[in-house]
Chain A
Amino acid sequence: MLNIKNLHAKITDGREILKGINLDVKPGEVHAIMGPNGSGKSTLASVLAGRPGYEVTEGSVTFDGKDLLPLAADERAREGIFLAFQYPVEIPGVNNMYFLRAALNAVRRHRGQPDLDAGQFLKAVRAKLKELEINDDLLQRGVNVGFSGGEKKRNEIFQMAMLEPKLGLLDETDSGLDIDALRLVSNGINKLRSPSRAMVLITHYQRLLDYIEPDHIHVLSGGKIVMSGDKTLAAELEKRGYAMLDETAA
């Protein structure tokens, strides 16, 4: 589904952050990406989602066999890529419900589905809100405005549940969640797992992977994937820290 080959990318100041990423994600799979702070995990997610400010200098990315790189961010989203932000943005004055309905209808139109009317939309919203235990009144505010850290993360997963993407890129969705919220969000993500949908989870913690069992774990360091393994890799990293990368390399 997602095929990344020798991806190099730099930021506008010219510094190269991604230095040859290779990753193959198949439908139905869950991949976890771990790695030290500043290693390039969010940059990879940003480049995949089409965030401005990054330049791909080498390599290729295909999504469902299509070249992803020429597409603008909104086109990628409509094609089925969803980025759950490490730091969701607050947008005062843009009502959550209004925003979500605009997003959902944009995605639906692209899929050849009719717009949802207000009633249908509300019904879909209600059901998902309940699953993620999100308070109704949050939706009446501006996008993410006045949300707590945990509420913002839950809102990201709520949006993913509404938009039903093919590929979810979840950047530290577990950070800042309390124990109950982590379980809630993990359940939400697990519910979205399906044979046709893939997920890439960026995380620092094994705990998330106890709830959401990944098929593969990769370690990103210095802009490259330096180690890959199955779900047992997380436990090993937890025990030994990223120092084990040097030991293994040595």
Chain B
Amino acid sequence: MTAKPETAPYRAAFTAHPADALADQRKSAFARFETLGFPTRREEAWRFTNLRPLQQAYLPGTATASKPDIAAYAFDGESYRLVFVNGRFAPDLSHTGALPKGVRLDNTAKLLPGHQDLAQSLLDDTDTAGGQGFAALNAALFADGYVLVLEDGVTLDHPVEIVHWGDAPDQSFHLRNLIKLGTGSRATILETYIGEGRYWTNAVTLVDVAAAASLRHVKLQDEATTAIHFGQVRGTLDRAARYDGFVLTLGSELSRHDSFIRYAGENAECGLFGAYLLRGAQEATNMTVVDHATPHCTTHEVFKGVVDERAHGVFLGKITVREDAQKTNANQLNKNLLLSARATVDTKPELEIFADDVKCSHGATVGDLDEDAMFYLEARGISPDEARRMLIEAFAADAIDRLEGEPALRAHLAAHVQRWLNVARVPS
């Protein structure tokens, strides 16, 4: 098999990567990357994605001097915080305090040597034989990330806060994360991605939620508007497990968040929610792929998009209900507000149903701000600017409010939506 030309610049980086416990798998993964190359628009999942910003190579580098500015993003409450700078764990900026018994929270690099079993679960067949080149590249090159493992029955009392700061020019950061929740355990994670300048964050997170365990997985993506961000989540939910994913997308020139969720037991439940607020020439894709392989599982998806100026928002939602997955309950909703005549949205909610006793629905809308609501607010003395803000905030809040039982996190996300709204807009 010949290597695709766009993969060539990454070969030297791979060759230079120090060998570790995963050397064999990494080799397979890199070969996979070379075979696949970058996805093209002929692939359904990448049809709407413009990869032009990746024409230049972003090579993984050694960490450079950096001045992370994370104060404005710190979660305003207690948390176990790991900070990463340019793809590497920064212990001096982190504080995990005393973790409860039965909790392992570490950076991936620290775990790699000497923890064969855990190291092995950092990669799977999807990396070495799957269909996504960037995930394979991540598998070959990742240097760090976080690992959270909860033993059976453990409830983490505060959120785990992962902050990633990037500012090394033209570098790529391949992060590999692992979340493993034992039976009946519970955790909340807040991932924050921020930075300055041009760089590429390429993160892959493997999630394993055991029976009756529950994970809230929240991501705030506010990377520099000249940066690229790809995040992939691959999750497996066992019997009566619950996964709530939320992604707030504010940053990056080009970004994707792809969630792949597979049900491996009955009565599990998954919520995939998100809001994206885009302006300038930003492009952001949220893709969800949910595989109902077992009966009695429930999926809720709500994604709300606010797209201004020349920005481009994409929602790709796919739910497959297999023949045996009777009593599946699944719904998908994507609503978009276009704030300018040049803003565009592509939305494709999709259901593929092979079982006959299921409740499934999907819907998508693209529209303007409600004129009647605008006039109602203005008729009470509220300025058009403020009225707009109120309506946009309410629109995004509809997705944020789906994060049940996390008032502080909801407030945190709402505050960042407000911050986005406070940036003066360029009149179109």
Contacts and interface: CB of A to CB of B under 8 A. Distances in A.
Contacts of A78: 381
Interface of A: 49-52, 72-74, 77-78, 82-83, 85, 88-89, 91-94, 98-100, 102-103, 106-107, 110, 142-143, 159, 163
B375 A52 contact: yes
B376 interface: yes
B380 A93 contact: no
B376 A88 contact: yes
Given A89-B376, A91-B373, A103 B381 contact: yes
Given A89-B370, A102-B382, 18 more contacts: A50-B379, A72-B384, A74-B378, A74-B383, A77-B378, A77-B380, A78-B381, A89-B372, A89-B375, A92-B398, A94-B373, A99-B377, A99-B380, A99-B382, A103-B377, A103-B380, A106-B383, A163-B380
B376 A91 contact: yes
Which of A94, A103, A159 has the most CB atoms of chain B within a 10 A radius of its CB?
A94
Given A92-B398, A99-B390, A74 B382 contact: yes
A87 B180 CA distance: 53
Nearest to A104: B381
B381 A85 contact: no
Interface of B: 370-373, 375-384, 386-387, 390-391, 393-395, 397-398
Contact of A73 (B378, B390, B395): B378
Contacts of B379: 49-51, 73-74, 77, 82-83, 85
A152 to B, nearest CB: 11
Contact of A103 (B371, B372, B375, B382): B382
Nearest to B395: A93
B277 to A, nearest CB: 15
A235 to B, nearest CB: 33
A42 to B, nearest CB: 13
Nearest to B398: A93
A74 B381 contact: yes
Contact of A107 (B378, B381, B397): B381
29 contacts: A51-B379, A72-B378, A72-B384, A74-B378, A74-B384, A74-B387, A77-B379, A88-B376, A89-B375, A92-B398, A93-B393, A93-B395, A93-B398, A94-B393, A94-B394, A98-B390, A99-B380, A99-B390, A102-B382, A102-B386, A103-B377, A103-B380, A103-B381, A103-B382, A106-B382, A142-B394, A159-B380, A163-B380, A163-B381
Which of B371, B377, B381 has the most CB atoms of chain A within a 10 A radius of its CB?
B381
Contacts of A110: 381
Which of A49, A51, A100 has the most CB atoms of chain B within a 10 A radius of its CB?
A51
B398 A73 contact: no
B373 A89 contact: yes
Which of B383, B393, B395 has the most CB atoms of chain A within a 10 A radius of its CB?
B383
Contacts of B372: 89
Contacts of A77: 378-382
A91 B390 CA distance: 10
A91 B370 CA distance: 9
A159 B379 CA distance: 11
Given A102-B382, A106-B383, A91 B377 contact: yes
Contacts of A49: 379
Contacts of B378: 50, 72-74, 77
A49 B376 CA distance: 10
Contacts of B380: 77, 99-100, 103, 106, 159, 163
Contacts of B386: 102, 106
What are the 3 A-B residue pairs with the smallest beta carbon separation, nearest first?
Answer: A93-B394, A103-B380, A77-B381
A85 B372 CA distance: 11
